[in-house]
Amino acid sequence: MSNDDEPSAVALVGTTGGAGTTRCAVETAAALAADGRDVTVLDAAFATQGLADHVAGALDPDLTALLTDEADAPLAEGLVELEVDAPGTVACCPADAPFERLARAKSADAARRFEARIEEAAEAYDHVVVDVPPVAANQAVAAVDACDRVCLVAPGTTRGADAVQRMRGRLTDLGAETDLVVSTRGELRTADASVPESDATEPADCPSCLGGDDDSFVAGVGRLAAAAFETELDDAVAGDGLLESVGRYVRR
């Protein structure tokens, strides 16, 4: 379980499109669940709506509805629990909406409601992970403002390194700090943690590939989760307990 000194909410902010931010958000949550934490993942990436790919069936309400038409409904009505083989739980609130509602969910009023939803999640769960796109819209700014820590996610390339510097500057303009940098698909010299690629391309493929040669992937996820939330995850960092809970949610 978490303690009161650990951050409640962390924003994982993509520095570029396709950085793997959604993947990192779900993996981080699963790593925390493997250590007995109850975690919720909230979706600020309204344009790509990638978090919805990890849940089955229609989402009613989705996160954008909870910020607009169903603003008075409790957050719990939009949460979908992922099936993780772990002592903790992972509940997601994805965005899955038509363009008209997406546009309304990006308004200043909706952004203020998003901050309140993050606070609501933090009261009900040990940890909150927010999947945030490159900061360029109200909901992304709200996520950064409402979270305790900000983690930048970047591909381990020259393009990724340049994007980290741009995003650091943008956050500074907003009065926010960068607490952590994680690289994906390669290592950045300035990164605090790195999550390598996995051989899995679909969630169902992954449990069989996380042992042996893929131990670096398991350990990378564990180090990311521990660093993001300034906590100790002995099992996760050692690679124990993540084989079932993280693996099934991996996508390239």
pLDDT at 235 over 80: no
Q: Which residues contact 198 (CB under 8 A, 6 or more apart)?
A: 206, 209, 210, 214, 217, 247, 250, 252
Of these ranges, 3-7, 68-72, 234-238, the one predicted with the greatest mean pLDDT is 68-72
How far is residue 152's CA from residue 15's CA, in Å, rounded to a whole number? 6
Q: What is the CATH number of domain 13-249?
A: 3.40.50.300
Q: Which residues contact 96 (CB under 8 A, 6 or more apart)?
A: 49, 52, 58, 59, 62, 64
The pTM for the full model equals 0.88
Query: Structural domain boundaries of the chain?
Result: 13-249
How far is residue 29's CA from residue 34's CA, in Å, rounded to a whole number? 9
**Confidence band (pLDDT; 50, 70, 90) for 85?**
confident
Beta bridge partners of 39: 90, 127
The arithmetic mean of pLDDT across residues 122-151, rounded, is 97
The predicted-structure confidence for 142-192, as pLDDT tens digits, reads as follows: 999 999 999 999 999 999 999 999 999 999 999 999 999 999 988 898 899
Which is more confidently placed, 3 or 248? 3
